[in-house]
Structure 1
Amino acid sequence: MTQHPPILYSFRRCPYAMRARMALWTAGIKVILREVKLADKPPALFEASEKGTVPVLVSFDSPVLEESIDIMRWALAQNDPEGWLAGDDAELIERNDGPFKHHLDRYKYPSRYADEADGTDHRAEGLVILSDLDARLSGQAQLCGETRSLADIALFPFIRQFANTDRAWFDAQPLPHLQSWLESHLASDLFKSVMPKYVPWKAGDQPTIFGP
């Protein structure tokens, strides 16, 4: 029996889903894309993953993957044409997914947190982390060398989100290397390839194939 491609539950603007899609695309892995409407999540998503957050990857030859970084590493283990795994910097990724994401959420959505006034304190804390990345990029084009790698793609969607919260403010900060780095990823064919808009999936819909 022919097996169909893995199923990816995704949401276009979610930074976790973005980085998973970019890794799958670079690895050359086609998936059945199920775009999720966050306000009306399909029951099939919860059947695949009780936590009900995207991305989730369901395949026939491996356990369900419920974390974006696991999807990235799984995809690149199948095929890593650009050598991204050489830049699997756990410390950078953990700082991004932990402290930076904490400050990003409270800067971007202060009204969701009872103890937050306007998020400016968290913006300042996020800037400290971004300043470290800017210094790191002062001597090299990407976070782990001269070519993009897993660390760059893992961090990029979150830095994009931080920058877009107040783009005029971000552009005025002394982050020349990080700003150039961000613009190069925003302009990349890879990013453009994974950002088309899709109609939210419903059971019974014809499958949408995503991939190069």
Structure 2
Amino acid sequence: MSGSQRSLAKGSPAPGPVPDGLIRLYSMRFCPYAQRPRLVLAAKGIKHEVVNINLKNKPEWFFEKNPLGLVPCLEISDGKIIYESAIVCDYLDEAFPGKKLIPTDPYEKAQQKLLLEHFSTVISALYKILFAKKDNQDTSELKLQFFEKFKAIEEALTKKNTSYFGGELVSMMDYMIWPWFERFPLFDVLEFLEKTPRINAWYKLMLQDPAVKETYTEPDVLLAFYKLYSQNSVDAADYGLD
């Protein structure tokens, strides 16, 4: 991987053409959606550079890359652009050699997509907890609602009876949901891992995965970032950099 960790903000010049032999990922160091393709890039060993975007103070030219102004966004050497995290990850797996993360069996592929659809409701429940915490509201009921949705993930892994969601090796589903598990301390739901033994075992295995280790951010750093981000600080994206 190449590229500077510091984020580009309003007024920053646009980067030049993507260097030969690389692809470019527009990202943000603490964004869970942007971590998805970073996990896939690391897992597949794809040569790339990362350009971080300040999401609180976006450079004007970035909207030419992605009209939504969101990360992740992938730029290929011939100027082609892909965005939306799931679509970016699918492209990376299909377009580049190395181990395949998406199941080849159509039924297994469909099952992962169905489970990922359900996980989007888990993500929504997590952010409801986070926003309530920010407003100093009681989160007890929201945590119960989260756990009701979360239990389906435990049931899916129990039914499959494998170490990972795709079998005995890490697959796309594992990487697609991992970023939110990394942020469980931020959402204050780490206790629920003890109530889901299969997921807890999976969680411990994922912590040892090379791609997870490469993209991992310590909980105290995430907490400090979010404190700044929730205060609308334009410096949040570069928290921890000299």
TM-score (ref. length: structure 2): 0.70
Superposed displacement of residue 9, structure 1: 0.9
User: Aligned pair in 2 of structure 1 residues 107, 61: CA closer, same or farther (>3 Å)?
Assistant: same
Higher relative contact order (CA 8 A, sep 6+): 1
**2:177 counterpart of 1:179:** no
Hey, what does 2:187 align to over in structure 1?
165
1:133 is aligned, of 144, 153, 156, to 153
Question: Counterpart in 2 of 1:209?
Answer: none
What SS does the corresponding residue of 1:71 show, helix, strand or coil?
Answer: helix
In structure 2, the partner of 1:90 is: 113
Query: Structure 1 vs Structure 2: percent identity of aligned residues?
Result: 22
> 2:57 matched to which residue of 1?
40
Where does residue 70 of structure 1 map in the other structure? 87
- Where structure 1 has 5 or more consecutive residues not aligned to the other structure, the ranges are 202-212
Alignment of 1:1-212 (within 5 A): 3=20, 5-61=22-78, 63-79=80-96, 81-86=98-103, 88=109, 89-97=112-120, 99-110=121-132, 117-138=137-158, 139-166=161-188, 169-171=191-193, 173-195=194-216
Task: Report the number of matched residues.
Answer: 196
SS in 2 for 1:70: helix
CA drift of 1:122 comes to 2.8
1:75 alignment partner, SS class: helix
Q: What is the TM-score with the length of structure 1 in the denominator?
A: 0.79
C-alpha distance in structure 2 between counterparts of 1:40 and 1:168, whole Å: 32
Structure 2 Cα separation of the partners of residues 75 and 168 of structure 1:
31
Amino acid corresponding to residue 91 of structure 1 in structure 2: L
Structure 1 position 71, deviation (Å): 1.0
Moved over 6 A (4+): none
> How big is the alpha-carbon RMSD for the aligned residues of Structure 1 and Structure 2?
2.9
8 Å CA contact 2:43, 2:210 repeated in 1: no
Distance, in Å, in 2 between the alignment partners of 1:144 and 1:137 is 9
Cα 1:146/1:129, change in 2 over 3 Å: farther
> For each residue in 1:105-150, what CA deviation from the matched residue of structure 2 results, as whole angstroms up to 9, or x when unmatched?
101222678xx94333332222123222223333210112221111
Change (3 A) 1:53 1:118: farther
